[in-house]
A and B are shown apart, each in its own frame.
Chain A
Amino acid sequence: MTLSPADWNALWLTLRLASVSTLVLLVLGTPLAWWLARTRHWLKGPVAALVALPLVLPPSVLGFYLLISLGPNGPIGQLTQGLGIGLLPFTFAGLVVGSVLYSLPFVVQPIQNAFQAVGDRPLDAAATLRAGPWDRFWTVAVPLAKPGFISATVLGFAHTVGEFGVVLMIGGNIPDETRVASVQIYDHVEALAYDQAHALAAVLVVFSFAALATLYTLQRRNTHLNWGRS
């Protein structure tokens, strides 16, 4: 049970994909979570539902619609071609787009819950001390919502590592570009190379367990700290 160079490449590609996707998710997800946590706009319900959709939809559905909409006849495909970027399916950038959509609820929801838990009072108090909205957001809301950001980062990253259906649909199985670890495992199983599948699968199981165990240990410590403070 040893990993081949192709297996290592697939693992490395998976880590790159998960890192880039998590970064993009934090940048896009934070303002979205803030808006969802604070707004009373009638669009809040529909937008929250859209964010949660990937939880419910099978990845094959998401991947199929991505393949069509990112393709040369789809709206996004025509946009990216018009911008001179070319077509996204079968590229690393295409996988990032797919992963961001697929992992969106895992990043937005923990941050949104954390912002809601912060509530109005600390922000009002900061406002009476003449802190501007920007200042209140960065020096009050974000530090108080730190546990939410930790959860969002770990869950977004781990969920992207575990992604399979979407990548399968839009990836095209290109080495070092779209052949991630989960697809490589599927290949091994289909080719009846069960030993190789075991080795790579074991790496993923150990990694996922370690990531989640770290998260829940950190969370427990954080709640203890909060109790200590109050």
Chain B
Amino acid sequence: MSLYRFIVLLPLLFAQPLWAATVTAAVAANFTRPMQALADRFEAETGHQLRLSFGSSGQLFAQIQNGAPFDVFLSADQAKPEALIDAGDALADSRFTYAVGALALWSATPNRIQDGEALLRRGDFNRLAIANPRLAPYGAAAMDVLGRLGLNEPLADHIVQGQNIAQTHQFVATGNADLGLVALSQIIEAGQIASGSAWIIPSDYYHPIRQDAVLLSRAQDNTAALALLAFLRSDTSQALIETYGYHIEVPQ
């Protein structure tokens, strides 16, 4: 190929179909793995381009309030999308629950957890890692579980807190904590507990961990952002999310 022709064709490398647009999504860290899987499908199906920023919901919230260039926010809770709507930074009618988090008692040691509730009551373990209940919805759910079992006081000296659910998982994975109350989505792979042993906490032991998505005001005319939210609601996406260890609610 001549140099001349190469230069003429060069712009094609950066070309996009006319109808394709770009959406930037701020995504809660606990949803990283399913979101990456969903992103590939979304781009393949729609031709739109999806850029992902992962972080803790609190950090992402603060960044959005201070003008971060995000179009869609997938929070780990409901409170932050609500607060953004109240502040006029997000659109009320776009909000829906894209996933409901599930909690599991987990140990990195196989067979360590046979009867999880009895193990917690016996208290024969060194540390129980939970996420910081003030910051992380999974931490608040962990406190619900301990409260329901009446173990808040007895286990107070055993508890260590991760700043988020990722760090809580890390404390258990490295063996520094015998047990941890982690997100089911962190330890499940293809529908199975990937390593160690676990007790999936009955969902009536804690308040549901509803994770809400919302369209941010700056993106109200962004076709790719609207397409992403519709894609997340779809049955196939919801079914995929379920395989990653979340419960789902049929979106209205």
Tell me the A residues contacting B by CB distance below 8 Å.
67-68, 70-73, 87, 89-90, 168-169, 172-174, 183, 186-187, 189-192
Interface of B is mostly: mixed
Please name the 5 residue pairs, one residue from A and one from B, whose CB atoms are nearest each other, closest first: A172-B160, A190-B58, A173-B161, A72-B175, A190-B135
Given known A68-B174, A173-B161, A174-B160, contact A191–B58 (CB-CB < 8 A):
yes
Contact, CB under 8 Å: B163 / A190? yes
- Compute how far the CA of A20 lies from the CA of B176 in the bound complex, rounded to whole angstroms: 24
List B residues at the A interface (Cβ < 8 Å).
56, 58-59, 61-62, 83, 126-127, 129, 132, 134-135, 160-163, 167, 170-171, 174-176
Q: How far is the CA of A71 from the CA of B108 in the complex (A)?
A: 13
| Residue of A whose beta carbon sits closest to that of B132 | A173
Asked if A87 contacts B161 (CB within 8 A), the reply is: no
The A/B interface has a contact count, at CB < 8 Å, of: 57
Given A172-B161, A174-B160, A190-B163, also A73-B135 (CB < 8 A): no
List 12 interface pairs A-B (beta carbons < 8 Å), by A numbering.
A67-B171, A67-B174, A70-B176, A72-B175, A90-B176, A173-B132, A173-B161, A173-B162, A187-B134, A190-B56, A190-B132, A192-B83
Q: Which residue of B is nearest A170, CB measured?
A: B176
- Closest CB-CB distance, B171 to chain A, in whole Å? 7
Report the minimum CB–CB distance from A115 to chain B (whole Å): 39
Find out whether the CB atom of A191 lies under 8 angstroms from the CB atom of B135: yes
Name A67's contact: one of B58, B83, B176 (CB within 8 Å): B176
A174 pairs with B176, CB closer than 8 A:
no
Closest Cβ–Cβ distance, residue A147 to chain B (whole Å): 39
**Are A192 and B58 in touch, CB under 8 angstroms?**
yes
Q: Is the CB of B61 within 8 A of A192?
A: yes
Shortest Cβ gap from B231 to chain A (Å):
29
A174-B161, A187-B134 known; A87+B58 contact, CB < 8 A = no
